[in-house]
Structure 1
């Protein structure tokens, strides 16, 4: 053990970075009862409106974590904004919708208890912060991780309080690096990155313009791509009234300095882009950002794990980056809790990168293709890039799957992100949503998946139900077992017209084992002669328990 650790503050998990992914990791660990310390070098949560698209899968995770309603309340001002508009200006009659509705026909309601949510990062982060603190999380802003060392038993980190300049030492069992795309932790570990690198650059400009809402009218878009060749860019509403964000192309590769974006130039660019030369524009803030396609070559080194932008960078088109990062944190949290709780082997943590890295590789490629499809301002896509419609966002948001890792029986040849989304209970896929009643209370099957593995069986699955209990007890694994069907012997009653077995791809006497993160770990399509032995093998394989 490092000598600095002798007098160090001790915590089970140290999180470096307090933006969306770090705060989500804190929330998820808090829900699982894992003590942790989060440090963030900035003095407060983000004040810049960005990273606003929270997809259905992310909202399912936040639903399970108990913050969905608070997030929707924080996002209420943009609740009626839909679609992406592309037009030469806001004052002409040209232009068209790249898409008009996020969920045309209400299809999402049939596959999920949650839905898309347009909540900007500056509104979302305080919700996550408050929820994490209420769960007992220790979150310290104006505190920076400046160095760390690890050994076989843990990580010793040196922290700097940026207000007092005081240094302190923390000893943690594990370190989560959610410290952004320029991750000092990743750099210190010497972990390289793969991918196409930088794609394009923008300057995000926040501004006030009271008359702009008149030009927008009832076109309450999520974003508007303005295509005037003299001043292109992307316009995003903040309050649909007078506060807005404009993404202006920036070309540092041509020697263009950031200082060139003074208030006068920014205001002139916005007026030209929207087609209102006399619009009064008050610039309130500017922040550069870089779109890139990079994925870390490894997601962990010993007891240190990368999550979010430290693990992957991708184009913001489609809001895939922040969602992928939040889902990283969710995948890692239950595995840390299982290993620290003693009901999974240490090798379970190796499956984090095994599962998440292929998803990031596929998703970053889809994000770049979507930028090409939308002709994102500032992006000159290579001629070889697919510019065809990438409309099946659901395949990325909901269809990603784990073909290797903490699963048993997954198809190793299946892509991490399919071309199309279909509801499935195949091992490695997201478990299906189904409305059921438990003790008179209506809930989704997804609401069952958080703290333990769950075994679901159908009307003919009594043998699996008992075998699961016996196998879990023998292995010391917490397992919630539910029988789905009518009558007093069944804990979950399906709603009329639903068929549990059909939805989960089994016979009535089959069984499905679901992980705490809501992914199918293993499936038995029908009964077998020795269900307890089958359950024991499945739990051992999934949780990396030694025989």
Structure 2
């Protein structure tokens, strides 16, 4: 058995695991990533297609925006959403959208969300993760056992082809191994929120004829409506000839035959079109959140910690945000300036956000299903036209919050965090669809253009940043800067004279964390700079630290 050592062991090579590897690599922290399948596995059944606006802000930090934009999805396809009885059938309503190339950047971010389905996104993230010399990615390997010994994690990893196993010694284990996480199961992390929403099915087809026939009127997404309401959606998943039909399903696990699948495809097409059935797979649409996101030196990230309805596209983006939150904290502890409360704060900050996003995904599904039955929907003539217009208006209005949910991506506020200053009562949770950025302790620091091509967000990432809007010298905050230096905390001082930025950030001094969230702000320097620095770096009482896991199920696990 060969032995390898690494600060961080990542189990799972999906978007969350890759994001963690990329951010750790960007911070100079080596890691080992283990993935049971090959690098191409998720390209056959791409589950996600929306790289959210916050994820694109992280891509900007990592320097891979162009790679995402040029990954392969055509930038001249309109991002329109059609509400219809079938792609070629009567259309009930339409949200007309621009192409990716034409879509404007919103005023509250330097980036916009991107359509980059997983068959395009995974290769970009794989290349980015492998670009860091300290990262090692092992595909076709599986975890067969692990043990948290309190001061390290020992894991046994075996090649899926039966080759020589590896013994991995790691400081920390990151479970990014998805909804059926063996690590989460071994840690005894049964969910406290767990509800089956539906048993759905994804069906993939290839149809150059469909692409040609839709022509200039083609939308990216088609919401399929029948006499009993919305029953599925068709997505042009590669922007060319490959399409994904998603059946909403019911609470019963499907036992479809190929004939059933073809019948669903023909219904969704709404006309006679030649197509090739590529594959189909049933899956459980769940509402689930784990009880704990951390046990000892083991952390749950992404779908191992939560599952949600994909209505809204929050799942992958929630996992990426968790990876970034955890990455800087792990790096700080390994560098010696981060305290035990820093790692405890991962669960305290991210679990409530995950629960919020899970809930909103379920609400989006309910809204999608809210259309009333309309038996005249498919009738010809004026009677049918009136019925279709009525249902189209209903469904279109019901789904607008899903399409405009910037508050989910950008509006998270870390309340009750052990590493931020006192909360601000006048900073309520952002509305899902009515996002308006503002500075709040625990919230994302706002974006303002400081110069052409330079956002305030470009200042954040490597360490803490102290923003000074006072218009005076740095002398009043010199004790705070000195306290950070004494503690070994990386802190950059940045005086900003931009009036618009000063109005948006509201206070004279703002301390921003490496993940871009605000740790403290005030019009006056802190009375006790050392105490503030200790709090934001996680040196506080009550932290659990790296105690060993005393669970039999955590000592050995088999996948």
Give the TM bin, normalised by the shorter chain.
0.7 to 0.9
Question: Secondary structure of 1:482's partner?
Answer: strand
Output the CA distance in 2 between the equivalents of 1:349 and 1:99. Answer: 45
1:30 paired with 2:19, answer no
Q: Is the 8 A contact 2:207 2:241 kept in 1?
A: yes
Q: Is the 8 A contact 1:228 1:273 kept in 2?
A: no
1:74 paired with 2:74, answer no
Tell me whether 427-436 or 386-395 shows the greater mean CA deviation. Answer: 386-395
Aligned to 1:535: 529
Aligned to 2:448: 434
Matching residue within 449, 456, 460 for 2:467:
456
Contiguous gaps of at least 5 residues in structure 2: 372-396, 542-559
Aligned to 1:409: 422
Aligned to 2:457: 446
Give the 3 Å change call, closer, same or farther, for CA 432–256 of structure 1 in structure 2. closer
Tell me whether 401-410 or 15-24 shows the greater mean CA deviation. Answer: 401-410
**CA drift at 1:542:** 1.2
Output the CA distance in 2 between the equivalents of 1:195 and 1:205. Answer: 28
**CA drift at 1:165:** 3.6
Give the 3 Å change call, closer, same or farther, for CA 79–358 of structure 1 in structure 2. farther
Give the 3 Å change call, closer, same or farther, for CA 283–71 of structure 1 in structure 2. same
Question: Secondary structure of 1:343's partner?
Answer: coil
1:238 paired with 2:252, answer no
Aligned to 2:247: 248
Give the 3 Å change call, closer, same or farther, for CA 376–288 of structure 1 in structure 2. farther
Question: Secondary structure of 1:218's partner?
Answer: helix
1:471 paired with 2:472, answer no
Matching residue within 219, 222, 229 for 1:221:
219
**CA drift at 1:297:** 0.6
Aligned to 2:552: none
Output the CA distance in 1 between the equivalents of 2:348 and 2:426. Answer: 15
Q: Is the 8 A contact 1:309 1:321 kept in 2?
A: yes
Aligned to 1:20: 15
Tell me whether 118-127 or 453-462 shows the greater mean CA deviation. Answer: 453-462
Q: Is the 8 A contact 2:220 2:239 kept in 1?
A: no
**CA drift at 1:354:** 0.3
Question: Secondary structure of 2:316's partner?
Answer: helix
Output the CA distance in 1 between the equivalents of 2:429 and 2:323. Answer: 18
1:321 paired with 2:292, answer no
Q: Which has the higher contact order (CA 8 A, sep 6+)?
A: 2
Instruction: Provide, for residues 12-56 of structure 1, a one-character-per-residue CA deviation record: whole Å limited to 9, x for no partner.
Output: 000000011101110010001111100000022421233011111
Aligned to 2:505: 504
Matching residue within 92, 114, 130 for 2:127:
130
Output the CA distance in 2 between the equivalents of 1:197 and 1:275. Answer: 33
Tell me whether 121-130 or 72-81 shows the greater mean CA deviation. Answer: 72-81
Query: With structure 1 as the length reference, what TM-score do the two structures score?
Result: 0.87
**CA drift at 1:78:** 4.8
Give the 3 Å change call, closer, same or farther, for CA 92–9 of structure 1 in structure 2. closer
Question: Secondary structure of 1:81's partner?
Answer: coil
Instruction: Provide, for residues 335-356 of structure 1, a one-character-per-residue CA deviation record: whole Å limited to 9, x for no partner.
Output: 0001111111022100001000
Query: With structure 2 as the length reference, what TM-score do the two structures score?
Result: 0.85
Matching residue within 411, 414, 431 for 1:399:
411
Give the 3 Å change call, closer, same or farther, for CA 407–83 of structure 1 in structure 2. farther
Question: How many pairs does the alignment contain?
Answer: 507
Output the CA distance in 1 between the equivalents of 2:411 and 2:67. Answer: 26
Tell me whether 213-222 or 60-69 shows the greater mean CA deviation. Answer: 213-222
Instruction: Provide, for residues 141-200 of structure 1, a one-character-per-residue CA deviation record: whole Å limited to 9, x for no partner.
Output: 001112111021011101011123432211100000000011100000001202241101
**CA drift at 1:477:** 1.0
**CA drift at 1:500:** 2.4
Give the 3 Å change call, closer, same or farther, for CA 416–287 of structure 1 in structure 2. farther
Q: Is the 8 A contact 1:465 1:483 kept in 2?
A: no
Give the 3 Å change call, closer, same or farther, for CA 107–527 of structure 1 in structure 2. farther
RMSD between aligned alpha carbons? 2.6
**CA drift at 1:332:** 0.3
